[in-house]
Structure 1
Amino acid sequence: METRRLVLLMIFSLSLIMLWDNYQASIGKPTLFGLSTGASTVDQDAATKQGAGNVAAINDLPNAPVQASSDVPADPNAIAAPAVEIAPAAQTITVLSDVLELQFSTQGAQLITSKLLNHPAVENPELPVQLFEQSTNRTYVGQAGLVGAADAPNHRTLFELQPGATSFAAGQDSLNLVFKATSGGIESTYNYTVFRNRYDIDLAITARNLNAEPVSPSAYVQITRDGNPLESDSALYATFTGPAVYTPEKKYQKIDFDDIADRSADFVKTADSGWLAMIQHYFVSAVIGQDGPRENYTRQVDANLYSIGLVSSLGTLAPEQTASYSAKIYTGPQDQRVLEALSPGLDLVVDYGWLTVIAQPIYWLLEKIHSYIGNWGWAIVVLTILIKLMFFPLSAASYRSMAKMRKVGPRMQKLKEQYGDDKMGFQRAMMEMYKREKINPLGGCMPILVQIPVFIALYWVLLASVEMRNAPWLGWVSDLAAPDPFYILPVVMAVTMFIQTKLNPTPPDPVQAKIMMVMPLVFSVMFIFFPAGLVLYWVVNNILSIAQQWVITRQIESAPATAR
């Protein structure tokens, strides 16, 4: 009977976890088991009706321009499909700042390369992390252009780089690259401003009407990326890779590549402010457009190739009249302080899911501790101690309950032998003993359940914080975001779990007792592949729990037993 209850309990618990994980996946939140995440599909019918005009336009006029009024953006599906290959006549211009290596192509004045010089790649630490890339293995580029006028310059048009410096001079804080092209009677100028020691780039698009008749162009800025997973993705824990949109109306909305492919993506299509981004673990590329009416859009432009962008009307331009549009492009780490300063809500790309309200204060506290200590590993240790102190009363109540259960363990075994197959009699006698000893069978579980949201939130903070990348702790741990190279922390983790198992009351069922003894080994194998920072947190928490539980257990066991 005890074994059957244990099996049923495990099945029920696993079912609850899987149901919750599927729910998290359905709303685009982080999951524990690598389930595919995507935006919510609520009100799909409304979203389909809203995008029906765009679907018809892209099917009927895939490359044709669409006229726009002064207050309604042009149809984004009229934007020409991006060319995967750069034209032979195109030139590549390389710009080096203190933190970025950027490459621009004169074909469309596209941003085709961004290497983060201060962030080594996981696959090869000798090379920097690369976000924007155009190669045989990856398509990930920043693009801009004009629509709404026939043959207006876009990201397929061949531009000319205007004379000027392409490298920083001593003491120079910013560098301008100017690209110019004329097509369809419109002269288009792109002015990119690259800053020293910054990951954001300013883009100013200027359109001049050279036609004899008025035109009504619209400017678009988009990020195009393939849907391939990253080599650094882990099979043990899931992190989101894909597009996201932020608007004041609906805040942060993630979009799954599959939803773009079947045209069911649900997000705010029109807005006056906000941003859009392409997200991956630790890093993000984002477009922050100027305030004003715009249309957000997503498109599948080729097999396994997707775009997310915004398009905004420049109004009606009379002959020789000029209009401009400005945007900011960010390509760099998910540094919450920097992102928050760039645009409201941009720091939400560091996604803590449904526990954001708890995780944000934890991250703030962790950052404050680091500002005094200067080492992220020791900051994790101190933070774990503070959280443990905060929950000290609840933990104490839980350990007292388990200590009492452990103390009466031998008497419970005698009762089990005394009643034999009389399960009901054994249950009555056990409850009477619990009543005499003032033991609450659930007393050891409830305090732990209250603490679970905090510990899960801390888990996501440590998993999502780019500050952990390449952050050393002690000699053998040189990267808190990578697994322990010598497996020392996972082994210590297994030892601490084994000690905790010994301090807990022995289950009356022998099968259950064996399972509890095997659990430390199972967890230690799993934690071999987890980031060292996460394992460090669990090790410190276990050591503190052992100390607290050992003291309480000694106190309870040394106290005189209640008369039977």
Structure 2
Amino acid sequence: MTSENRNMILAIVLSMAVLVAWQYFSGIPEMERQRQAAQQQQAQQQAAQQQAPGTETSAQVPGAQAPAPASGTPPTTAPAVAKALTRAEALALSPRVAIDTPRVVGTVALKGGRIDDLSLKDYRETVDPKSPIIVLLSPSGGPTPFYAEFGWVSGANNVKVPTSETVWTAPAGATLTNKTPLVLTWDNGAGLTFRRTVSVDDNYMFDVKDEVQNTGTAPVSLNPFALISRHGTPHTLGYYILHEGLIGVTSDAGLHEIKYKDIAEKKSETFPSTGGWLGITDKYWAATVIPGNEEKVQARFSASTLGTDFAYQTDFLGDTVTIAPGATAAAGGRLFAGAKEVRVVDGYKSSLGIDRFDLLIDWGWFYFITKPLFLLIDWIYKGVGNFGVAILIVTVLIKGLFFPLANKSYASMAKMKAVQPEIQALRERFGDDKVKLQQEMMEIYKKEKINPIAGCLPILIQIPVFFALYKTLFVTIEMRHAPFFGWIKDLSAPDPTTIFNLFGLIPWDPGQVPVIGHFLLLGVWPIIMGMTMWAQMKLNPAPPDPTQKMIFDWMPLIFTFMLGSFASGLVIYWAWNNTLSVLQQSIIMRRNGVKVELWDNVRELFGRKKPKAT
């Protein structure tokens, strides 16, 4: 095999490795995963929307959580109640105080003092502006319980403290807004008065301050806690490159990313920490509890049996607080419950000093490429108003950045194509003498100053950028439901058209075909990408071996089908990058005296032979 063909094969193998890796680590093709997720979300939302969140007085199921134990640990989930309730029924079991801010709406349950009803005003289930808004937190007893709770545990002295059954008192007509905090009170009847002040900012951060006044005659020792609980194993997309599950940062052990199945096997993991944060994350949304930056806590990730499923919990337990007679003690924590917006998450990390809070967004191992790439795209987006256009502009900038290297690479490939007649003559001359053939070829390369390896450099450069853009499109909520032009309404989703139903003219969904359905979702942009890839490959030296030539001829078609189920933003990027490469390579080839036979190849593709030289 000649050096130029070996380089081309290497370049293609590298590209194929990236694409096959995505397919392998995804487990199930992306379109099928998204369809399953959409179906489940639709079913959940139908139950959730039986009552608009935050509009009626509501509550949770009694006994959904055991009272705070006397062992000095946060409360854990008890067995599920016998009767399954709708979200509306679960909400209706407790008096509530409304939450209403510019970005969230919901209620605080007076029974238990939980924040367990929260929806995000700015986000909807689909691109349809009339679709339901995202419901993040839900009460125990209903479908998909997911809530936050703060409080005290009494430890060995067995002092009566508020539990999930405690009904707090709120001022008449109270509403929690970003301007007005909510104050709850409860008297245990044994000399302790509990006071909880909840405030929320303009985004997704709640501040919870718990105070205890001791009017008794003896000192009391308590430990503050905060927890996030989620009942039932939620549907996850199952992608290797995306973490969904329990997450947190502790000062001693760093970042924790724990899958649901792993904690279900281990049952519990505890880590000492000073500050930090921990919670449960989905792809775009998360709920985390955050102790004070200097507070020493025991952080715990746990799972307990809940009927035939599990309940998952992250919690922290603070150091013992002793309250002397006549004294008042206070403890506090924060709750983040909302969308994982880069600007918002980074802002909390900076303004509140939360340790590595930006890792709530799964930037991955290539953080140093992925996040800067997003920030660049986002900065350009703010100027042009379209993420798709921003991606195109960033592609041009990247091309310009690597132009000197690409220029040398394409120049080398042009020279290699120019000496193809000489190489062919050598093959005919030396026949099966591979050693002599390689020696003579290297002499030609040395004489013409050709670097056989240089042809792989553009692909090698493109792979990390491809990965970073794929990650950015996949994990950042800013790309969710971001439109381009025409039929592309969501750059993070695959092209919704497909040639196999004539781009929507035939009322049939090829994706429903078992096993191969996702390969039939071949939209306009994947086809454009395949054409640009074919054009780029035709500019390279053609392999003399018929088998190799056949493989290379089929490669654009294979890539077209493989990329058909990828995010449309990624496919648009690849098509645009190929187009720029074709233009760049054509200009360089002409400058090196090589004829660009792209048009001849197009005619040959459609059955017309190249005109014979006269």
Cα distance between partner residues in 2 of 1:321 and 1:249: 34
Per-residue CA distance 1:259-286 (angstroms, 9 max, x = gap) = 323338878x222222223222222222
Please say if residues 417 and 594 of structure 2, whose CA atoms lie closer than 8 Å, have aligned partners that are also in contact.
no
- The aligned residue for residue 265 of structure 2 is 262
Cα distance between partner residues in 1 of 2:143 and 2:421: 64
Cα distance between partner residues in 1 of 2:376 and 2:282: 25
Cα distance, 1:211 vs structure 2: 5.1
Cα distance between partner residues in 1 of 2:27 and 2:15: 15
User: Relative to structure 1, is the Cα distance of residues 512 and 211 closer, same or farther in structure 2, using a 3 angstrom cutoff?
Assistant: farther
Secondary structure of residue in 1 paired with 2:495:
coil
Cα distance between partner residues in 1 of 2:397 and 2:15: 31
Q: Give the counterpart of 1:113 among 91, 105, 117.
A: 117
User: Relative to structure 1, is the Cα distance of residues 208 and 362 closer, same or farther in structure 2, using a 3 angstrom cutoff?
Assistant: same
Cα distance, 1:335 vs structure 2: 1.8
- The aligned residue for residue 32 of structure 2 is none
User: Relative to structure 1, is the Cα distance of residues 455 and 530 closer, same or farther in structure 2, using a 3 angstrom cutoff?
Assistant: closer
Cα distance, 1:417 vs structure 2: 4.1
1:114-133, aligned counterparts within 5 Å?
114-122=118-126, 126-133=131-138
Secondary structure of residue in 2 paired with 1:206:
strand
Query: Where does the alignment leave 5 or more consecutive residues of structure 1 unmatched?
Result: 22-29, 37-60, 67-73, 560-564
Cα distance between partner residues in 1 of 2:332 and 2:248: 18
Q: Give the counterpart of 1:147 among 146, 150, 153.
A: 153
Cα distance, 1:92 vs structure 2: 4.4
Cα distance, 1:415 vs structure 2: 3.4
- The 10-residue stretch of structure 1 (544-553 or 334-343) with the greater mean CA deviation from structure 2: 334-343
Amino acid at match of 1:102: G
Please say if residues 252 and 272 of structure 2, whose CA atoms lie closer than 8 Å, have aligned partners that are also in contact.
no
Secondary structure of residue in 2 paired with 1:354:
coil
Cα distance between partner residues in 1 of 2:357 and 2:183: 28
Cα distance, 1:431 vs structure 2: 2.4
1:28-107, aligned counterparts within 5 Å?
33-34=25-26, 64-66=69-71, 74-76=72-74, 79-81=75-77, 90-107=94-111
Q: Does 1:165 align with 2:157?
A: no
Q: Does 1:376 align with 2:379?
A: no
Amino acid at match of 1:119: Y
Please say if residues 395 and 448 of structure 1, whose CA atoms lie closer than 8 Å, have aligned partners that are also in contact.
no
- The aligned residue for residue 584 of structure 2 is 548
Cα distance, 1:217 vs structure 2: 0.8
Provide TM-score, normalisation by structure 1: 0.79
Please say if residues 68 and 163 of structure 2, whose CA atoms lie closer than 8 Å, have aligned partners that are also in contact.
no
Cα distance between partner residues in 1 of 2:10 and 2:203: 53
Q: Give the counterpart of 2:182 among 174, 177, 180.
A: 177
Percent of residue pairs bearing the same amino acid type = 31
Cα distance, 1:199 vs structure 2: 1.7
User: Relative to structure 1, is the Cα distance of residues 187 and 521 closer, same or farther in structure 2, using a 3 angstrom cutoff?
Assistant: farther
- The aligned residue for residue 242 of structure 2 is 239
1:470-549, aligned counterparts within 5 Å?
470-486=481-497, 487-549=523-585
Cα distance, 1:11 vs structure 2: 12
User: Relative to structure 1, is the Cα distance of residues 256 and 210 closer, same or farther in structure 2, using a 3 angstrom cutoff?
Assistant: farther
- The aligned residue for residue 225 of structure 2 is 220
- The aligned residue for residue 336 of structure 1 is 342
Q: Does 1:325 align with 2:331?
A: yes
Secondary structure of residue in 1 paired with 2:323:
coil
Please say if residues 225 and 307 of structure 1, whose CA atoms lie closer than 8 Å, have aligned partners that are also in contact.
yes
Cα distance between partner residues in 2 of 1:264 and 1:422: 66
Cα distance between partner residues in 2 of 1:229 and 1:529: 24
User: Relative to structure 1, is the Cα distance of residues 222 and 396 closer, same or farther in structure 2, using a 3 angstrom cutoff?
Assistant: same
User: Relative to structure 1, is the Cα distance of residues 385 and 468 closer, same or farther in structure 2, using a 3 angstrom cutoff?
Assistant: same
Cα distance between partner residues in 2 of 1:402 and 1:139: 60
Q: Give the counterpart of 1:463 among 474, 478, 495.
A: 474
Cα distance, 1:33 vs structure 2: 1.9
Per-residue CA distance 1:210-244 (angstroms, 9 max, x = gap) = 6543221111111112563546x376x74210122
User: Relative to structure 1, is the Cα distance of residues 365 and 12 closer, same or farther in structure 2, using a 3 angstrom cutoff?
Assistant: closer
Cα distance between partner residues in 2 of 1:205 and 1:332: 22
User: Relative to structure 1, is the Cα distance of residues 15 and 107 closer, same or farther in structure 2, using a 3 angstrom cutoff?
Assistant: farther
Cα distance between partner residues in 2 of 1:92 and 1:528: 48
Cα distance, 1:378 vs structure 2: 1.5
Secondary structure of residue in 2 paired with 1:116:
strand
- The aligned residue for residue 55 of structure 1 is none
Q: Give the counterpart of 1:385 among 379, 396, 406.
A: 396
- The 10-residue stretch of structure 1 (112-121 or 240-249) with the greater mean CA deviation from structure 2: 240-249
Cα distance, 1:520 vs structure 2: 2.1
Cα distance between partner residues in 2 of 1:156 and 1:314: 21
Cα distance, 1:159 vs structure 2: 1.9
Query: Where does the alignment leave 5 or more consecutive residues of structure 2 unmatched?
Result: 29-65, 82-89, 498-522, 596-614
Amino acid at match of 1:271: S
Secondary structure of residue in 2 paired with 1:351:
coil
Cα distance, 1:63 vs structure 2: 6.7
Cα distance, 1:8 vs structure 2: 11
- The aligned residue for residue 273 of structure 1 is 275
Cα distance, 1:246 vs structure 2: 2.1
- The aligned residue for residue 299 of structure 2 is 296
User: Relative to structure 1, is the Cα distance of residues 124 and 379 closer, same or farther in structure 2, using a 3 angstrom cutoff?
Assistant: closer
Provide TM-score, normalisation by structure 2: 0.73
Please say if residues 314 and 325 of structure 1, whose CA atoms lie closer than 8 Å, have aligned partners that are also in contact.
no
User: Relative to structure 1, is the Cα distance of residues 452 and 9 closer, same or farther in structure 2, using a 3 angstrom cutoff?
Assistant: closer
Cα distance between partner residues in 1 of 2:241 and 2:200: 33
Per-residue CA distance 1:333-378 (angstroms, 9 max, x = gap) = 2222222222332222222222212333323322222232222222
- The aligned residue for residue 252 of structure 1 is 255
Secondary structure of residue in 1 paired with 2:455:
coil
Amino acid at match of 2:479: M
